[in-house]
């Protein structure tokens, strides 16, 4: 038994190291010069800790503007997609109406179609409607792309909730909207948190659509902004690394804030499903 525990400990430790190593490499990368990054000290600690890389990223570039733009895109997408998905999944999972299976199939189809396949039609549509290049030009694809996965997550969770809760509420005179807002929404918080994390990460890290649909620096997102730090003839890779570390911090914070909700969602799905 002791040997088995030691083996499990070693395996788990190895997995932990492989998961943490990219973050360690990114942080040390951001504190080095180009000579250290491309020289012999690729994986080691910096010989000189260049904290000025972070100062330059925050003061000499438009990183703060890109950061705020990404925060805006991500928060709006999470809120709007979460609300629409919660209501649509409730209608699909809890109500009886014609063609609800077809509608659910259409949403499921949205997960199977890659964004690359719809890139040109979306570009032409947004260009003809005059939405390309502004906030709506990114928010509409982000929200529409986040809804299918959120509906898939929430529909399975809705079906695990006993119908007696809503029946008792209806007997007491509770309408459908009040029942949804006061009874169902508090119950689905773990699943909604899980869907929100996926939506936030997908929006925060998205590069292809932001690089295609946004022309002005005013509406540029953080990944596109960091990519623009690369110069034509020379590139300060430490500066790019500092920007990447700053871009990584919100995702880590969001995960730690909602990790308990995600675990509750997974446990509930395993027990009830």
Q: Which residue has the tokens 């918080």?
A: 189
Same domain, 205 and 246: yes
Task: Look at residue 108 and tell me if it is in a domain.
Answer: yes
Q: Give the Cα separation of 136 and 122 in Å (integer).
A: 12
Same domain, 173 and 200: yes
Host domain of residue 131: 61-272
Q: Is 32 exposed, middle or buried (0-12, 13-18, 19+ CB in 10 A)?
A: buried
Residue finishing a domain among 12, 29, 50 = 50
Same domain, 121 and 226: yes
Q: Give the Cα separation of 231 and 61 in Å (integer).
A: 13
Same domain, 159 and 37: no
Nearest in space to 41 (alpha carbons), one of 249, 238, 247: 238
Task: Look at residue 56 and tell me if it is in a domain.
Answer: no
Give me 189's structure tokens: 């918080």
E strands, the chain, in order: none
Whether 54 and 260 have beta carbons less than 8 Å apart is answered as no
Same domain, 125 and 223: yes
Residue finishing a domain among 29, 50, 71 = 50
Whether 240 and 33 have beta carbons less than 8 Å apart is answered as no
Task: Look at residue 181 and tell me if it is in a domain.
Answer: yes
As a whole number, mean pLDDT of residues 38-42 equals 75
Q: Tell me, what CATH number does 163's domain have?
A: 1.10.3720.10
Which of 17-21, 52-56, 168-172 has the lowest average pLDDT? 168-172
* pLDDT tens-digit map of 148-195: 999 988 988 888 888 877 778 777 777 788 888 888 888 888 888 888
Q: Length of the chain, please?
A: 273
Q: What is the pTM of this model?
A: 0.84
Same domain, 39 and 106: no
* pLDDT tens-digit map of 104-137: 888 888 888 888 888 888 889 988 988 888 899 8
Same domain, 99 and 164: yes
Same domain, 17 and 130: no
Task: Look at residue 55 and tell me if it is in a domain.
Answer: no
Same domain, 66 and 114: yes
Specify the pLDDT at position 233.
62
Same domain, 28 and 88: no
Give me 156's structure tokens: 């399975």
Same domain, 140 and 31: no
Spatial neighbors of 248 by CB under 8 A, at least 6 apart, are 23, 26
Same domain, 161 and 237: yes
- The total domain count for the chain is 2
As a whole number, mean pLDDT of residues 209-213 equals 90
Give me 90's structure tokens: 């409730």
* DSSP 8-state code for residue 232: S
Q: How confident is the model at residue 82 (pLDDT cuts 50, 70, 90)?
A: very high
> Phi, psi (5° rounding) for residue 44?
-80, 175
Spatial neighbors of 111 by CB under 8 A, at least 6 apart, are 148, 149, 152
Measured CA distances, 194 to 206, 226, 261 (Å): 18, 28, 7
Spatial neighbors of 244 by CB under 8 A, at least 6 apart, are 26, 30, 226
């Amino acid at each position: 038994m002791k040997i088995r525990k030691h083996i499990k400990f070693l395996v788990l430790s190895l997995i932990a190291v492989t998961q943490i190593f990219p973050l360690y490499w990114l942080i040390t990368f951001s504190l080095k010069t180009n000579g250290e990054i491309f020289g012999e000290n690729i994986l080691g600690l910096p010989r000189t800790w260049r904290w000025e890389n972070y100062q330059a990223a925050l003061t000499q570039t438009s990183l703060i503007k890109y950061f705020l733009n990404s925060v805006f895109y991500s928060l709006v997408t999470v809120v709007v997609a979460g609300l629409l998905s919660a209501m649509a999944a409730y209608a699909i999972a809890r109500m009886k109406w014609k063609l609800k299976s077809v509608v659910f199939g259409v949403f499921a189809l949205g997960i199977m179609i890659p964004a690359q396949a719809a890139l040109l039609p979306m570009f032409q549509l947004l260009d003809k409607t005059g939405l390309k290049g502004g906030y709506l030009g990114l928010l509409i694809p982000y929200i529409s792309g986040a809804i299918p996965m959120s509906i898939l997550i929430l529909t399975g969770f809705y079906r695990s909730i006993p119908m007696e809760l809503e029946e008792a509420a209806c007997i007491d005179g509770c309408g459908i909207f009040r029942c949804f807002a006061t009874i169902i929404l508090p119950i689905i918080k773990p699943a909604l948190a899980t869907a929100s994390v996926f939506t936030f990460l997908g929006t925060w890290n998205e590069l292809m659509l932001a690089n295609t649909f946004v022309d002005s620096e005013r509406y540029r997102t953080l990944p596109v902004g960091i990519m623009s730090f690369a110069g034509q003839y020379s590139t300060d890779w430490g500066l790019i690394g500092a920007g990447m570390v700053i871009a990584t911090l919100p995702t880590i914070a969001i995960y730690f804030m909602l990790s308990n909700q995600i675990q509750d969602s997974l446990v509930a799905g395993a027990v009830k499903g």
